[in-house]
Structure 1
Amino acid sequence: MTHAPPESSPRRSRRAPSGRRAARPPRRRRVWRWIVLALVLLLLAVGGVGYWLYRGLDGNIKGVDIDRAIGGDRPERLPTSGQNVLILGSDSRAGDNAALNTGKVAGARSDTALVMHIPEGRREAVAVSIPRDTLVTRPECAGSDGGQVPAKERVMFNSIYAQAGPACVVKTVESMSGVRMDHYVEIDFAGFKGLVDAIGGVTVTVDRDIRDKSSGLDLTAGTHKLDGTESLAFVRTRHGIGDGSDLGRIGLQQQFMIALLSEIKKQDLLGSPAKTYRIADTLTAALTTDSELASLTKLAEFGRSLNGVDPSTMETIMLPVEYDRIDRNRVVAAEPQAGQLWKALREDAEIPESAKKSPAGGGTS
């Protein structure tokens, strides 16, 4: 069968040079889930400062009616009380994000995508990372502008956000996995930068010099306190580390998000309502959720339902992928591993070890 070439993307991944295996990805990627957990802490902390503060924060959150946009053609909900949440970190080139666009690229991309599975009992959660360069079949979708976006094969996953909006990303994930997404949470890069500046910066330590002209990152080996702009460069960089692929960047993202959460925990949020409000205001302004979560009250209720989840036991794995046979700069879901992984989530069951192995990642997720 003849395949159409993948849709062009301004941001192409780079494969390791011939004869070299791509760097093995870290076993745990605690990336955007730390932001969600931090958000819950912040929301609970500001709960008593006053109704007018509540109204201001509540009005910040943007909602998307996912159910209406997708319609009834969706997988069944879990037969248990377990839930699945699609978390996107969006790299928008519009509005405040335009000034952060060092690559001068138009449009927007879902730079990070995690399917967070919260099993019955709300204790040992798992997050499945979908590599942004994965080629998928995009189903027919209702676009953000109200028109219809036709179905298409071999579309790069992170381009769907720009092509058709968040509801189509949800529908694509549901179509490829058979897993119903109960909720949707998105945070953009402009809000990420503002959050770091609001808490006074984040301290990281690197064991070697990192210089990346593409991201603007220029660090010497040692400890540095990064402001918002520098932090964005840190989590975006890839050309100054490893083999220049996304795998090295994922490691830096993991390191940074742990440092970010540690910094938030050190802040005297309960003792400084003004600072807490400033941080929460910055973060909620960067949030887009499904309409069922688009209020402080609903977010707080959902956060309280996660109280039993221990972050130290939360496993994050990568969707098993292999290099595409036509374009080695792209990956596709590896079978039967990917099918085993999605089946476990559909049934709220334990994920088998075989479903955690990714051929394109050196054999591990």
Structure 2
Amino acid sequence: MLLAGFAVVGVRLLAHRYERTVSKEQLLAPDARQARTELETGLNYLIVGSDRRPDAPGPDQRSDTILIVHVPPGLREAYLISVPRDLLVAIPPDGVGYAGGQDKINAAYEHGGGGEGGTRLLSATLTRLTGIRFDGAALIDFAGFRRVIDLLGGIRMCVDTEVRSIHTGVLFPVGCQQMDGARALDYARQRYDLPNGDYDRQRHQQQMLRAMMDRAGETHLRTDPVQLDRVLRAVGNALTVDTNGVPLDDLLFALRSLPADALHGVQLPSYPQTINGISYVVLDNGGGGLFDAVRTDRLPDWSRANPRWVNRL
């Protein structure tokens, strides 16, 4: 979605430079992959965000952010559906060593070994839960996105509830303010001491992506090839992608008419629940028809009928 925001500087040039820097992996499990992607139809992408690179060693590689991006037919708007990382789900076996079981959905990334394997297991888990097959996936290194935001000159974020970072101790006062990469990412990770906890964190992450697209459209990268190259390399270094066989220039060209103000944030109908002393999030009424609306390209109608679960970005 961020790459689509760069269409204003020349889609074909962007795709050519991006092709040389981005990592490409098989991020989708076979049963989670759309058999064939047709760009003129509705599209569904899985976005997984983590502070660890795919090849980072060590245990506890959990996904900090899970987004389903739905682009309805016509490709003129997009819906960012945040999946709560504490959502209680049935994780299938990975076929390697993990036998499967009930757990929080962000644990699927860890059980799959993180990186490519973790994203595949996470995609299989989501398809089993939602029935949605994906046209592609991206694994985002949010730490790498700090440099992207800094190269863009920072982004403008509007804080609606004062909160102090549990990571750095920085206070985020109420009001719209310019943030550099470190500050923006720190703010988007906060969930404690916010009225709606992790739901507020999800909304802030959606707002950060919208702000990055806004800023990308405002900059004059077309007239500054050196800066353009730096931004494209930073974007490429922060992403691992699976486009389901679609050439990058075809995908970006198809999304060229998608403006930042056409992004809509959606929360998964759900509620927190403590089970055996552990905090989870559970689906409200099986997702309240959201998954069916995505599968049948009726998400705009669903959003109008369910404003409670729609975020203003």
TM-score (norm 1): 0.70
Taking a change above 3 Å as real, the CA distance of residues 130 and 356 of structure 1, as seen in their structure-2 partners, is farther
Match of 2:48, SS state, is strand
Larger radius of gyration: 1
1:285-334 per-position Cα deviation (integer Å, ceiling 9, x unaligned): 1111116469xxx2221121123445434433222113336257211122
- Whether 2:296 is the aligned partner of 1:347: answer yes
Report the CA distance between 1:63 and its aligned residue. 1.7
Cα 1:125/1:222, change in 2 over 3 Å = closer
**Deviation of the 1:43 alpha carbon:** 6.8
Post-superposition shift, 1:184? 0.6
Q: Which residue number corresponds to residue 223 of structure 2?
A: 271
CA RMSD between the two structures: 3.6
Relative to structure 1, the CA distance from residue 66 to residue 258 in structure 2 (aligned partners, 3 Å threshold; closer, same or farther) is closer
Match of 2:256 among 307, 310, 314: 307
Residue of 20, 25, 40 corresponding to 1:64: 25
Contact conserved, 1:337 with 1:356, CA < 8 A, in 2?
Answer: no
Structure 1 residues 203 and 116: CA distance shift in structure 2, 3 A: closer
Counterpart CA distance in 1 for 2:69 and 2:177 is 31
Tell me if the contact between 1:90 and 1:189 (Cα under 8 Å) persists in the aligned partners: yes
Change (3 A) 1:220 1:180: closer
From 330, 340, 343, the counterpart of 2:280:
330
Q: Are residue 37 (structure 1) and residue 8 (structure 2) matched?
A: no
- 268 and 159 in structure 1: CA distance in 2 versus 1, 3 angstrom threshold: same
Give deviations 1:161-217, integer Å, cap 9, x for gaps: 122011111111111111111111121112111112222323445467542243442
Shift of 1:86: 0.8
The match for 1:246 is: 198
Q: Which amino acid aligns with 1:242?
A: L
| Further displaced range: 323-332 or 80-89 | 323-332
User: What secondary structure does 1:108 align onto?
Assistant: coil
Match of 1:86 in 2: 46
Counterpart Cα distance in 1 of 2:184 and 2:87: 26
- Please state if 1:110 is matched with 2:58: no
Aligned pair partner of 2:212 in 260, 277, 283: 260
SS in 2 for 1:343: helix
Deviation at 1:107, TM superposition (A): 2.9
Q: Is the 8 A contact 2:135 2:244 kept in 1?
A: no
With over 3 angstroms needed to count, the CA separation of the structure-2 counterparts of 1:299 and 1:163, relative to structure 1, is same
* CA–CA separation in structure 2 for the residues paired with 1:332 and 1:252: 21
- Shift of the 192–41 alpha-carbon distance from structure 1 to 2, 3 Å rule, reads farther
Q: Which residue of 2 aligns with 1:3?
A: none
Contact kept in structure 1, 2:4 and 2:256, CA below 8 Å: no
- Report the Cα offset of residue 94 of structure 1: 7.8
SS class of match (2:221): coil
Counterpart Cα distance in 1 of 2:190 and 2:65: 14
- Tell me what 1:235 maps to: 188
Instruction: Give distance in 2, aligned partners of 1:314 and 1:258.
Output: 7
Query: Whole-Å Cα distance in 1 between the matches of residues 77 and 158 of structure 2?
Result: 30
Aligned to 2:151: 198
* Equivalent residues in 2 for 1:201-212, closer than 5 Å: 201-204=154-157, 206=159, 210-212=163-165
Match of 1:159 in 2: 107
Q: Which residue does the alignment assign to 1:125?
A: 78
**Equivalent pair of 1:45/1:276 in contact (CA under 8 Å):** no
**Aligned-pair distance for 1:112?**
1.7
TM-score, normalised to structure 2's length? 0.80
The count of residues paired between Structure 1 and Structure 2 equals: 303
The superposition leaves residues 239-259 of structure 1 with CA deviations (integer Å, 9 ceiling, x where unpaired) of: 3x5347223333433444443
Paired with 2:33 and 2:175, the residues of 1 have a C-alpha distance of 49
1:179 and 2:159 aligned:
no
